[in-house]
Structure 1
Amino acid sequence: MSCLMPGEDFTLVVVFPLWPTFHLVGPLSAIDLSSSLSDGSKVRVAYQGLPGAYSEAAALKAYPKCETVPCDEFEAVFKAVELWLVDKAVLPIENSVGGSIHRNYDLLLFHRLHIVGEVQLVVNHCLLGLPGVRKEELKRVLSHPQALDQCEMTLNKLGVTKVSTNDSAGAAQITAAERVRDTGAIASVRAAEIYGLDVLAERIQDDTDNITRFLILAREPIIPGSDRPHKTSIVFSLEEGPGVLFKALAVFALRNINLSKIESRPQRYRPLRIVDDSNKGSAKYFDYLFYVDFEASMAEPRAQYALAHLQEIAKFLRVLGCYPIDTTL
């Protein structure tokens, strides 16, 4: 076994074959899927929610002139890309207040799409109401559960009843449709414009530094470069044993590669591992998948060496994508 240190001067086998291939039916149109235009004017982008959702704002930040396509659930967003109904997808993966969105981590593994970019979006939670209504008149406020939690102090001061909905833009749509003066919503400024509501207050979240990170997904990976900072996302599993996770993470430390994110998820189809590590019988432990983001491009030899080293330790390894880091906050 070779750990490739310190010279690492062997003939390198390109690591890209770790990216699984996925054969799909032909495209529905002759649209240029390369997204070479920086404004995304030829790109259809799927997102979860209704027009005015924060996910739509993230799509427009990534591709300012794209055509956004709303989907009712996260699963539908993945399928829209796989079936060539859209070119890209934008999905939230973590929030600075609410943490990771575990459902989307699971879907990343289940589906065979590639991460081709990320978007960091500053969330501006606004209190919306019918035209002419004052915020003191509100008795009910609708929104996504996370938005309600993130604005708890403001809502408690108002003394309103919190009502959960599937997404924030949907809350704005319901408020506009019901036309009940004592009902408001927490959503974006864009949602207020779309559904004809007034913005009664802006930035009502408890934590002013509220940022959601989104991933951009596509059917094919991009060719990574080294002209700007890149991030690589992977998922792997390990055999049971002392120090195996330390050894896995050390392959990056040995090459001075920074890890920006580590997330563990129990394996859905084999959640428990039975280990007989004593004379007192067997024990059951969760069997985990580890999702890691590291700050290096697959075009860099150090990243390729690190993954080659990790492949010697891991029983499963998949590269989810290599993409430019969003530095536009």
Structure 2
Amino acid sequence: MSKVEALRKEIDKLDAEIINLLKKRVDLAKAISEIKKEEGHPLYDPLREEKVLKRIKKLALKKDLSLNEITWIYRKIISLCRKAEGENVKVAFLGPAGTFSEQAAKRFFFNAAATFMECPSIPDVFRAVAVGDADFGVTPVENSLEGSVNLVLDLLLNSNLKVFGEIEEKITHNLIVKPGTKIGEIKMVISHPQALAQCRKFIEENLHEAKIKECSSTALAVKIAKKIREAAAIGTELAAQIYGMEIIAKGIEDWPNNYTRFFVLSKIEAKPTGNDKTSIIFSVKHKPGALYQALEVFAKKQINLTKIESRPSRKKPWEYLFYCDFEGHKEDSPYNEALKELKKRCAFMKILGSYPKAQ
């Protein structure tokens, strides 16, 4: 037997051991899922997943193994275990298929054995989770260029759903056409008004003679463009794949630092991870210094506010609600003490949720 053949036999033995260990891991995961079902706990636990990956990365570093490759392998192992458990997480997103919302949802639930369901509107995403048709919902809440999605803020005020997580998705716009179409043949450009506005410079320089047509989403634009000769859509890479279209220009947005923040909605609350955010809504009495006194709570406890904005309360003219995000989890100190003190100083306060910061 040659030295190479001897070493290959050792590799074969190791492969057999790896398969046996994977089977043991799957069996343990099944046992845990049965206990969770008996005790009424949710099967999906992203916090546990992050802890596993964090620990594995440390072990990989000690053995001088590629972090990216090991992380990819373990994500697949986690996915294998979830499928064996019979876990099937239902995730609602703002459709149609191929939107940035779907891209964000699939990235967040990358390792889950998930079924994705498209909803025609943002209220329908909230409704799907509220009535139990979906376990989670993904909806845009804020764009780095355009600001907040006011409808989502209003729905959060009246909903019992919790913010379970957040996703930051880089917005990359692409010029999408029927396969074989050249840029000089394009006579119509279709997309969502925001996407058209964010690609104005590219359109003026390359498609200044083309007719502009607005529609309700970038994914719908791709769907429409597929049916019209000499038309192009501005949309996602995912939409191009779904509808069998071709991207002839990538990254055509005027501003490269364009991100949309999405909320993951659920009936369950996220556990502390040590790297969290909390979102709240509050209002103060209409008197001098009331807002200062409310915000003083955070300053005294050295809590970093990452966002604050006002919205009309719609109850009285010129009465406002304040939407605020801060670093920390509501169950941890000093954040829980700050919230108790804030409640005393406010006319109204609602905690929307504490959740892991976007990765």
Q: Could you tell me the TM-score, scaled by structure 1's length? A: 0.82
Shift of 1:32: 7.5
Is the counterpart of residue 118 in structure 1 residue 166 in structure 2?
A: yes
**Aligned pair partner of 1:213 in 239, 261, 269:** 261
Shift of 1:201: 0.5
Q: Secondary structure at the match of 2:329?
A: coil
Aligned to 1:310: 342
Q: Could you report, residue by residue, the CA deviation over 1:73-93 in whole angstroms, capped at 9, with x for unpaired residues?
A: 001000000111010001111
Residue 209 of structure 1 aligns to which amino acid in structure 2? N
**Aligned pair partner of 1:249 in 295, 299, 304:** 295
Is the counterpart of residue 292 in structure 1 residue 324 in structure 2?
A: yes
Shift of 1:162: 2.1
Shift of 1:185: 0.5
Aligned to 2:235: 187
Shift of 1:220: 2.2
Residue 36 of structure 1 aligns to which amino acid in structure 2? D
Q: Secondary structure at the match of 1:228?
A: coil
| Cα 1:151/1:110, change in 2 over 3 Å | same
Residues 1-329 of structure 1: matches in 2 within 5 Å? 33-36=42-45, 38=49, 42-64=88-110, 65=112, 66-157=114-205, 158-159=207-208, 160-176=210-226, 178=227, 180-222=228-270, 224-225=271-272, 227-268=273-314, 270-272=315-317, 286-327=318-359
Distance 1:219 1:188 in 2: 30
Distance 1:290 1:153 in 2: 35
2:279–2:325 CA contact under 8 A, matched in 1: yes
1:129–1:197 CA contact under 8 A, matched in 2: yes
2:92–2:136 CA contact under 8 A, matched in 1: yes
2:310–2:323 CA contact under 8 A, matched in 1: yes
Distance 1:296 1:61 in 2: 23
2:274–2:328 CA contact under 8 A, matched in 1: no
| Cα 1:167/1:271, change in 2 over 3 Å | farther
Distance 2:350 2:173 in 1: 36
Q: Which has the higher strand share?
A: 1
Please give the root-mean-square deviation of Cα atoms over the aligned residues, in Å.
1.6
Distance 1:271 1:137 in 2: 54
Q: Which has the higher helix share?
A: 2
Distance 1:145 1:36 in 2: 37
Aligned pair count reads 279
Distance 1:141 1:309 in 2: 53
1:50–1:71 CA contact under 8 A, matched in 2: yes
Distance 2:189 2:42 in 1: 41
Q: Secondary structure at the match of 2:117?
A: strand
Distance 1:129 1:297 in 2: 46
Indicate the percent of aligned positions where both proteins have the same amino acid: 37
Distance 1:242 1:202 in 2: 52
Distance 1:34 1:289 in 2: 36
| Cα 1:135/1:33, change in 2 over 3 Å | farther
Shift of 1:67: 1.4
Residue 334 of structure 2 aligns to which amino acid in structure 1? R
Distance 2:148 2:252 in 1: 22
Q: Secondary structure at the match of 1:301?
A: coil
Residue 191 of structure 1 aligns to which amino acid in structure 2? A
Distance 2:215 2:316 in 1: 31
Q: Could you report, residue by residue, the CA deviation over 1:171-222 in whole angstroms, capped at 9, with x for unpaired residues?
A: 111111x2x2321111111100110111011100000111111000001222
Distance 1:92 1:308 in 2: 29
Residue 169 of structure 1 aligns to which amino acid in structure 2? A
User: Which structure: larger Rg?
Assistant: 2
Distance 1:262 1:182 in 2: 45
Q: Secondary structure at the match of 2:347?
A: strand
Distance 1:288 1:309 in 2: 20
Which ranges in structure 1 are unaligned for 5 or more consecutive residues? 1-30, 273-285
Q: Could you report, residue by residue, the CA deviation over 1:276-322 in whole angstroms, capped at 9, with x for unpaired residues?
A: xxxxxxxxxx1001010000112322111111111111111010000
Deviates more, 1:299-308 or 1:68-77: 299-308
